[in-house]
Amino acid sequence: MEDIKAQIESALPGVRLDILPNDSPSGQRSLLVGNAHALAVARFLRDAPDLRFDYCSNVTGVDWPDAELTGKVKVKMLLDGVEKEFEEVKKTVRPGFLEAVYHLYSMEKKHGPVILRLRTGNRTDDNHLPSLTPVWRSCEFQEREIFDLFGIVFDGHPDLRRILMWEGFKDFPMRKDYVEPDDYEYEPTAHDEVLAKARRQFPPEAKA
């Protein structure tokens, strides 16, 4: 990963990249790419002769709501006239954001994956990312799905419209704060929990 990061930064001056760790058993690290340079980085990864990441196998969305982070900071205090250093617990709030995560492989060189991450500014009005469909056509439907279920707007996408939910549907079902409706009247085969919610919404006496 460090070699690829160094190649990109050498070839594309001004590009901002960060290597993100992964605490899962796979340990696959990823490259966080600044949105202004995302298309240039994608084209470099696809076209560089020794890389040739010509296939995007998977694009996923991730919702990161606001989170309270706890960390330790060192502070200096006077104790009996002597300056000493102590650790103090400090809490900060990390504003929420949305991510698109791209898994890249080289069919020509038979290596990979390289994982790219793009982040929005927030979860509300700054929810735009550049579409990578112009670089990898396989991103087209997957970016549409992320747009539909997470609410990320992919600028430059050739056909950005809903793919699972219907036009006019409000909210984004894959966000972590999504609250599903109680109105399941449209469900043709309601059962179990869905049926119980439908009965609460439309009790039998209401139909009489």
Cα atoms in the 13 Å half-sphere on the side-chain side of 181:
11
The Cβ-side half-sphere exposure at 146, using a 13 Å CA radius, reads 31
What does the alpha-carbon distance between residue 153 and residue 77 come to, in Å, rounded to a whole number?
Answer: 49
In this prediction, residue 25 carries a pLDDT of 81
> In sequence order, what are the beta bridge partners of 125?
none
The rounded radius of gyration (Å) of the Cα atoms in the chain is 23
- In this prediction, residue 24 carries a pLDDT of 81
To which residue do tokens 């205090």 refer?
77
Write the pLDDT tens digit of every residue in 52-89.
Answer: 999 999 999 999 999 988 888 888 888 777 888 888 88
The whole-number average pLDDT for the span 122-151 is 97
Question: In the structure, what pLDDT confidence band is assigned to residue 161 with cuts at 50, 70 and 90?
Answer: very high
The predicted-structure confidence for 16-66, as pLDDT tens digits, reads as follows 899 999 888 888 899 999 999 999 999 999 999 999 999 999 999 999 999
Contact 104, 45 (CB under 8 A): yes
In whole angstroms, give the CA distance from residue 171 to residue 86: 46
- Domains of the chain in sequence order: 2-64+98-168 (3.30.460.80), 178-208 (no CATH)
